[in-house]
């Protein structure tokens, strides 16, 4: 793994393909961006995605960190990435695996799986964050990479949209917990639901559940 790239984007603008072009100039061809969604919630899986945009990717597509995009824009770009990227892979790591491995190791395992399972196999990877998974694929960890690299931004969109859709579906199984609204994150609404109804099979038992004082009617 190479030295981590700093988090500051000198242009202050949207992600670019500069990191991908730098890798391509050194002979790499299948350059994957990797990111995750769902490290912070109290419930639900962690979703990890890898995307190889490829040489035919239209650089004018407005990719960005998924957190900076509206729901409608994320959904639009999700379909665009799936149809126009050279390759992509999405992996779900269950709450049980998170409890067994811890959240950091579970996320790194998801990244490892994405890089191992995406086809064609990547020969270089740009991974969001400050940790690089144990893989034979060369690459670098890029702090705030979803704001710097279009490949990582694409992966962040796939991971975020897939996870949000899963949590909306899970809300149909557990309507009292409001997963369609908070997606498992530790909001006041979510913590009140836990206080009133307890935990579901989706909840991560290894996480600390901060108590909330219920309102008295």
Question: 106 in a domain, yes or no?
Answer: yes
At 214 the pLDDT is: 46
pLDDT score recorded for residue 213: 52
Please name every residue paired with 184 in a beta bridge, in sequence order, or none if there are none.
none
Residue 93 is assigned to a structural domain of this protein: yes
Examine residue 130 and state whether it is found in any structural domain, yes or no: yes
Does 5 reside within a domain?
no
Contacts of 130 (CB under 8 A, 6+ apart): 4, 141, 143
Q: Considering the domain boundaries, does residue 34 fall inside one?
A: yes
- How does pLDDT run along the chain (217 residues), one tens digit per residue? 554 444 344 445 789 999 999 999 999 999 999 999 999 999 999 999 999 999 999 999 999 999 999 999 999 999 999 999 999 999 999 999 999 999 999 999 999 999 999 999 999 999 999 999 999 999 999 999 999 999 999 999 999 999 999 999 999 999 999 999 999 999 999 999 999 999 999 999 999 776 655 443 3
Query: Is 148 inside any structural domain?
Result: yes
Q: What's the pLDDT at 13?
A: 76
Range of the domain at 129: 18-168
How many domains does the chain divide into? Answer: 1
pLDDT given at position 63: 96
46 - beta bridge partners? 93
Q: Is 197 domain-assigned?
A: no
Any domain includes 10: no
CATH of the domain at 32: 3.30.420.10
pTM of the model: 0.91
């Amino acid at each position: 793994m190479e030295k981590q790239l700093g988090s500051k984007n000198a242009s202050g603008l949207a992600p670019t393909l500069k990191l991908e072009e730098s890798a391509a100039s050194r002979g790499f061809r299948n350059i994957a961006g990797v990111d995750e969604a769902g490290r912070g919630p109290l419930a639900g899986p962690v979703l990890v995605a890898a995307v190889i945009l490829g040489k035919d990717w239209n650089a004018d597509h407005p990719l960005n960190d998924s957190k900076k995009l509206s729901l409608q824009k994320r959904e639009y770009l999700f379909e665009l990435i799936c149809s126009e990227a050279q390759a992509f892979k999405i992996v779900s790591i269950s709450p049980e695996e998170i409890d067994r491995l811890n959240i950091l190791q579970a996320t790194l395992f998801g990244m490892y799986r994405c890089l191992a399972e995406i086809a064609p196999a990547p020969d270089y990877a740009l991974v969001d964050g400050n940790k690089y998974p144990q893989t034979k694929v060369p690459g670098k960890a890029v702090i705030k990479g979803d704001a710097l690299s279009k490949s990582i931004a694409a992966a962040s969109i796939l991971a975020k949209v897939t996870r949000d859709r899963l949590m909306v579906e899970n809300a149909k199984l557990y309507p009292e917990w409001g997963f369609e609204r908070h997606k498992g994150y530790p909001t006041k609404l979510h913590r009140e639901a836990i206080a009133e109804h307890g935990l579901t099979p989706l909840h991560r038992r290894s996480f600390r559940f901060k108590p909330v004082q219920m309102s008295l009617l």
